[in-house]
Structure 1
Amino acid sequence: MLELPNRQMPHSTDAEQAILGAMLLDEKVCEDVKLKLQPDDFYHHRHRIIYETMLILLDQNIGVDVTTVTAYLQDHKRIAEIGGVEYILTIYESVATTAHTEHYVEIVLEKSISRLIINRAQSLIEQGYDPETSTQDLIDTAEQQFSGLARLNQGSDFKQIDNVIIDFIKNVERLSQSTGEVTGLTTGFTALDNMTSGLQNNDLIIVAARPAMGKTAFALNIAQNVAKLNHVNVAIFSLEMGADQLVSRLVSAEGRIEAHRLKTGNLEGADWRSLKIATDVLSNLGIYIDDTPGIRVGELRAKCRQLHQQKGLGLVMIDYLQLLSGSKANGGNRQQEVSEISRMLKEMARELKIPVIALSQLSRQVENREDKRPMMSDLRESGSIEQDADIVTFLYREDYYKKDPELNDNIVEVIFAKHRSGAVGTVKLAFRKEISRFENLVNVPESAHIPDV
């Protein structure tokens, strides 16, 4: 353990002695303490040895008292390390009651976390002086080292079912007062909302497709609709396109302006009016765009946490997962890196209590099958993604593969291959590629040639 010059690490000798003394005095205390403290939480070496001995005795169903602890330490020739039998007696005799043991446990745990923070901070300082350590690596290390510390102070105890049921009933009553079937964030797509009841908090949602299926347009439309219809802030991380290209797609979809006209500036009279209306609408939405290429997942999470704290955050969309970078701790193993990325995205969804949408690539093996509809096995580095995701959807356009002039086009199948809290199946939407816009089938104009379904 690191000690700073002329300064002792935070600790409480009295609290540590009081806990050990209470365990020697009353065996009933032992199980409660065992659930909350580890040997390393004790600052003093001899206290760690005594506590480790008590845990061993408990595991062997041997009662914990002065006699059994002393005998074990003597048998294993460790009695001298803790100051002899006299020290065990001193601890035992210093405790008159076990009434305040829980408070002493909180003190010891708090001091232990303080020491952990100091040690990790000192380690970061040492890395900072290393000329071979980049600033980004330092930031990633800090994110990993400190992101979970808050949870150490909030142990998750058993929840008695009657208390959980009370909260459950309150939630059902709240949902019953809402109109319609949508209990999460509405996407603006009726069939999609019927399948999911809206985008739910804590969910990691994967949208995967082969190129040209429209997955980026689909996710952008959802992000745009969520911001507009639910009045929440949305963060978009665009690792493939710059912010200007992404905004061009948003304007095209919102104003129903053909993308090539925006790209060339060849707008007609009605287009200018549509451009003005679309930009006015988008300017008033809480959409935040980050187009940092190759952003590390730790940095992404830190940015989302900051936005959530400062302005509030309702949804995160990432285009796309395979372009994210993990930490260097994976030693160049891409599969481990993707596992880390998907795990951290799921943790972020739970921490911020928001849905997170991540786009994903599919492997080329789709093209080798007669039926081109994607399957779970087509996900790139699929194992961890499939495990961490709450929803996995695939996009499929039959007209892309079947060059048949008789085949009505513009239909996209949204295939729910995994749905942790609901049904799997397929819903259909219209895709107007020229304006980067998905629409409900019933709302598509006749010129789009959408068949009756």
Structure 2
Amino acid sequence: MPNSQEAEEGLLSCIFQDPDRIMEARAKLQPEAFYHCETRTIFEELLTMDQEGIPLESVALNIRLNDQGKIERGLVRQGQATIIACSLVIPAYFDRYLKMIHDRWTLRKGIHGHLLAVRLMFRHLTDRMESEVAGTLTDCQNIVQMSLDGVKFDTGSSATLRECLSEHIDHMMELQQKKDAGIETLIPTGFPTLDRRAGGIGLNEYWLVTGPTKSGKSVLAGQIVKHAARRGFKAKIYTNEVQRVSYAGRFLASESSEFDGTVERHGFVNRKQQNEYSRAITALKNSIGDFIIIDNAAGKYVEDVVADMRLEARSGTVLFVVDLIGKLRTRASHGNRERELAHISGCLSDATKTLGIACLVVAQENEDGAVRESKALGMDCEAWLKLVHVRAEKRRGTVKFGSSSSEMDTQDEIIRNRRKLIVQLARGFAAGDVIDCAFDGARFFIAELDNHRTEES
């Protein structure tokens, strides 16, 4: 198995010479990172001594090891701690030794995870012949990933304000370099007010889209994906309301004014529609055909979706849409559906941070405007976009009942070609903005009305 006794002894020697290094070693390594029993035992005891406030020197360490019987049991050789402490190692090599130990630890964990995955695949042949192979392969991927998650080379969760400010400077310099090179670091939504205020969707952000039934939530998500794809951002949609063929039909309907989504039901009514359909097919294939992936996600587990996100992110996909989140499932048991949805939301939100991706989740609203699935969605997200029906104002009118009539308020009606997009929540930008939008449900189209058109209407 991958290991380096020289690196393990070298790291311990650096700690003896510079005891303050024990804090960094504690933050980045676990005792199991040391492959050899003797060095692992010494490291564990050094961690305990540091926690108890005992000076880290070889004499005190040898006494503790002897008193605990660890030398007698052969866990450490007599005087080995002294030999390591007195070895001629330069403390400046600490980082080098640390990385060597961590890399070999990672390889061992990876080997172990793959062995477990191979064992699971063999078990599938004997015990689970009737189950789907895809599910077993996903479980194998998760096993390997979980094996590696425990050995991330973290720089530490804590830092002084001075160090944080230095990190912020590095972040801004990297951001400015990308901007100067013409590289977009935020995914534009296609809504000018939102993009002007927010800049777009960040690559580690979780956005929520809600609205009542038939308000156009999927239309909004699809338009954002389409606009992002035209700007060169690769996206993937997990649809569990309609099949991917129908979802592709939505993009086609939004591409032309000659036909809408009903063409899938009754076919073409004339030659003009057929020609326009061919034009729209060609236009979409040539412009964004390779930038959007559509996945039939009905009945999928969130664990499988996150595993798929991890694979897609490696191939350059940066924007992921889950439509609807309420139809995802989880293998974990949480007692009730609301807690289950909170877990699902948390998994997707965590994925945006660990994978450096953007996730747009579509959810239903109750009549009172609250998220139907779980309140946790509103707490997990960086931005919450709400679609609202626009209604005509109530007016006084005469209503006839047979031979009689009376004055009363007429019922307000939904204006079908209008929607309001409300930024319900946004961390640091645009919260409270109300954006007037033109809407065409049959063509799966929604766009912000500019100020001039808003005034005219």
What is the TM-score when the length of structure 2 is the normalising length?
0.80
SS state of the match for residue 325, structure 1?
coil
Q: Distance in 2 between matches of 1:351 and 1:281?
A: 35
Distance across 1 between alignment mates of 2:178 and 2:115 = 48
Residue type of the partner of 1:435?
Answer: R
Contact 1:249 1:436 in 2 (8 A): yes
Question: Are residues 1:251 and 2:252 paired?
Answer: yes
Partner-residue secondary structure (3-state), 2:262: helix
Alignment of 1:325 with 2:298, yes or no, is no
1:60-110 Cα offsets, whole Å, 9 max, x none, are: 221011222123334444442334543333433444543433322222222
Q: Give the conservation status (yes or no) of the 8 Å contact 2:10–2:89.
A: no
* TM-align CA RMSD: 3.5
Aligned-partner Cα distance in 2 for 1:335–1:74: 55
Is this contact kept in 2: 1:408–1:451, CA < 8 A? Answer: no
Q: Which residue type is aligned with residue 155 of structure 2?
A: S
Tell whether the 8 Å contact from 1:330 to 1:336 is kept in structure 2 after alignment.
no
Structure 1 residue matching 2:201: 3-state secondary structure? coil
State the partner residue of 1:315: 319
- Flag the 1:185–1:399 CA change in 2: closer, same or farther, 3 A: same
- SS across alignment from 1:259: coil
TM-aligned CA deviation for residue 215 of structure 1: 0.8
Relative to structure 1, the CA distance from residue 451 to residue 258 in structure 2 (aligned partners, 3 Å threshold; closer, same or farther) is: farther
Does residue 139 of structure 1 match 2:140?
no
Paired residues, number: 425
C-alpha deviation, 1:289, in angstroms: 1.5
Distance across 2 between alignment mates of 1:339 and 1:136: 26
Hey, what does 1:5 align to over in structure 2?
none
1:224-373 correspondence runs (5 A): 224-228=226-230, 230-256=231-257, 257-284=259-286, 285=288, 286-310=291-315, 312-326=316-330, 328-330=331-333, 334-335=337-338, 337-351=340-354, 353-362=356-365, 366-367=366-367, 372=368
Q: Give the residue type in structure 1 aligned to 2:198.
A: T
| Residue of structure 2 equivalent to 1:429 | 437
Measured after TM superposition, the shift of residue 389 of structure 1 is 1.6
Match of 1:122 among 115, 122, 142: 115
Q: Deviation at 1:258?
A: 3.2
| Paired residues of 1:203 and 1:349 also in contact (CA < 8 A) | yes
Q: What is the identity, as a one-letter code, of the residue corresponding to 1:118?
A: I
Matches of 2:329 and 2:16 in 1, distance apart? Answer: 51
Aligned partner of 2:7: which letter?
A
Q: Please, which of 29, 40, 45 is the counterpart of residue 48 of structure 1?
A: 40
Alpha-carbon offset, residue 166 of structure 1: 4.9
The 3 A distance-change label for structure 1 pair 219 and 160 is: closer
Judge conservation of contact 1:429–1:441 (CA < 8 Å) in 2. Answer: yes
CA distance 1:293–1:401, change in 2 (3 Å): farther
Q: Distance in 2 between matches of 1:47 and 1:401?
A: 78
Of 54, 63, 72, 2:55 maps to 63
TM value normalised by structure 1: 0.80
Structure holding more helix per residue? 1
Moved more, 211-220 or 153-162: 153-162
Percent identical pairs in the alignment equals 21
Residues 223-252 of structure 1 deviation map (CA, whole Å, 9 limit, x = unaligned): 122223x13332222122112211222222
Distance 1:47 1:335 in 2: 48
Map of 1:23 onto structure 2? 15
Gap regions ≥5 residues in structure 2: 395-409
1:371-450 alignment runs, 5 A limit: 372=368, 374-375=369-370, 378-383=371-376, 385-399=377-391, 404=411, 408-425=415-432, 426-442=434-450
Equivalent position SS for 2:44: helix
Secondary structure, aligned partner of 1:435: coil
Counterpart pick for 1:222 among 221, 224, 232: 224
Is the CA contact (8 Å cut-off) linking 1:143 and 1:298 kept in structure 2? no
- Mapped partners of 2:40, 2:413: distance in 1: 78
Q: Which has the higher strand share?
A: 2
